[in-house]
Amino acid sequence: MEIESMVANSALIKAREGGGNKGRSLKWKEMLRFPHISRCMDLATNIERDYHSLCVKQPIGKKLFQLFCRSRPDLQNYISLQDALETFETKSDEERRDFGINIIQNLSTPFLLPERLQGIMSNLSISWIRDLHQYLSGKPFVEYQESMFFDRFLQWKMLERQPINKHAFRQYRLLGKGGFGEVWACQVRATGMMYACKKLEKTHIKKRRGETMALNEKQILGELDSRFVVNLAYAYETKHALCLVLTMMSGGDLRFHIYNIGPPGLDRDRVCFYAAEVCCGLIHLHQKSILYRDLKPENILLDDSGHIRISDLGLAIQLPDRGLVRGRVGTHGYMAPEVISHEFYGMSADWWGLGCLIYEMTAGRPPFKARGEHPSPSEMERRIHKQQEEYGDRFDQSLFPPLQLLNKDPNLRLGCLDRKGREVQSHPYFRKINFRMLEAGLVEPPFKPDPRQVYCSDVQDIDEFSTVKGVILDNIDTNFYSKFNTGSVPTSWQNEMIETGCFSELNVFGPFGSRPPDLDWSQTPESPKRSLLDRIFHRCHDDQTSWP
């Protein structure tokens, strides 16, 4: 390993570990200083007063609403019931009965009547949660909006909406490159949170007419909140690039693990686990009518714990109402027969991709080419249409061939029969996977990456990104950048505040549950401090205007 890579890797590992200050700037509290509540008036007037959005969907909003309810003796049991029912959903089948009985015996609310006991035993707790939210969205929600807890939520929202630029981050080593730019490891100065920054070079985007693709990826990522798909945290621009700040996946991609660590391929437990999590990610995308279209090992990333996420949604598309599109989109060797043939297709293309992924993880090679072979695109297309894949000793012959993910007829392909993909999860191949526990993040991965290792190519082995000359950016480009440059993504930003401990450290109130000064409407807010540069500029301006 070259000295350059050693230094870059060492700096990245140290940043990931955090240290005593958890990677935060020494001025992090100043960066996250609450504005006085009087400065939140416009937001209070314009914010959507929707219970589900404010108290369920948004993580900080949910926590503050729960704090409000816990401060009210008449509402405490309702929130305890909500917590218990959410926990109940993550319990194994064997644990559910005893846990349900414990809920009935210890939490007294109108929802826990004796005649409803059978409901919780019959896996009907979801309807209980719905009824509970219906009650809380009434009078409790109205009263919450008059409390200091809602005012504090407005303060957090003001911080969330602060403009974002490159100075909000520290940049570490280069992780890789794509079609429009490079991916760098970065860290939020205020919280110490690690991310991957995908920089899309403006001149490259314009030269290759990639504006639609770039904006499409950004918009789709902004709509998603899945533990099996990389999340978008921030979107901002610099002079030369559009930047997507995404979930940091320190464990590398599956291609690296298949081909660079030991003999090609992975053991059966890892293959099944990764396939199950990819399956969950595809279902989450498909539930929002999003077709992924680029499933391959290098687009599946591992996090610190060994869980995977789907990445690189540049080729994803929102399906129209009829649920079908047409276009040769994807990577050679992984495109489904119907994609290659210019036929209309839907979710079938993604289930074919999952079949290719399972095959490659198991065999240590793609299904339609040998190791080290480089067939032409036309030959690869011929094989996909005509050639039957072969299953060697590494495959469980009793399970994999019937899996039918590589059936050339999309009408017979597994995952396409009920248009929801649930029959994939119920296939005997996944008999050892508890998908409810998996979706809750409670299944231990069979492999955990070494935190002292960097799972990507050495810095000097990543080709330098070429520069583009002769491309001039104009007002049309500037208008496009304004659609891209939207700052923080609410759910991701709020989760960051909670996960890094910033929320618990800053979300304090006055003695005995009173309003602190920044929430006191009777106090005049302090004037915001000017920066050193502002003070210098202002002084120079005063000196100039005083000249005769």
Of 151, 253, 294, 303, catalytic: 294
CB-CB contact of 183 with 444 (8 Å)? no
312 as an active site residue: the answer is no
Give Cα 488 distance to the centre of its chain.
Answer: 13
Per-residue H/E/C for 92-129: CHHHHHHHHHHHHHHCCCCCCCHHHHHHHHCCCHHHHH
Residue whose entry in the numeric block shows the structure tokens 């480089």: 374
| Residue 237, SS3 per DSSP | strand
| Range list of H helices, 189-293 | 202-207, 211-223, 254-260, 268-287
Give the whole-angstrom CA distance, residue 27 versus residue 525: 21
Give the whole-angstrom CA distance, residue 350 versus residue 386: 20
| Cα–Cα nearest to 492, from 245, 311, 233, 157 | 233
Please report, for residues 25, 73, 188, the alpha-carbon distance to residue 512 in angstroms, rounded to integers and kept in the order given.
31, 15, 34
| Cα–Cα nearest to 451, from 2, 14, 3 | 14
CB-CB neighbours of 58 under 10 Å: 22
User: Torsion angle of alpha carbons 401, 404, 406, 411, nearest 10°?
Assistant: 150
- N- to C-terminal Cα separation, the chain: 66
Element (H, E) at 496: helix 490-499
Give the whole-angstrom CA distance, residue 46 versus residue 48: 6
User: Could you tell me the two tokens for 408?
Assistant: 């050339």
CB-CB contact of 264 with 274 (8 Å)? no
User: Could you tell me the two tokens for 426?
Assistant: 């119920």
| Cα–Cα nearest to 447, from 279, 256, 310, 194 | 256
| Residue 198, SS3 per DSSP | strand
| Residue 361, SS3 per DSSP | helix
Pairing status of strand 194-201 against strand 181-188:
antiparallel
Which amino acid belongs to residue 176? G
The answer for 262, left when phi > 0, alpha when psi is -120 to 50, beta otherwise, is: left
Q: Positive or negative CA dihedral for 192, 196, 199, 205?
A: negative
Full DSSP string of 147-184? SHHHHHHHHHHHHHTS---GGGEEEEEEEEE-SSEEEE
> Rounded to 5 degrees, what angle do the CA atoms 428, 433, 439 make?
130
Is 483 annotated in a binding site? The answer is no
Q: Which residues are annotated as a binding site for ATP?
A: 198
Active site residues: 294
Q: Which residues are annotated as a binding site?
A: 198
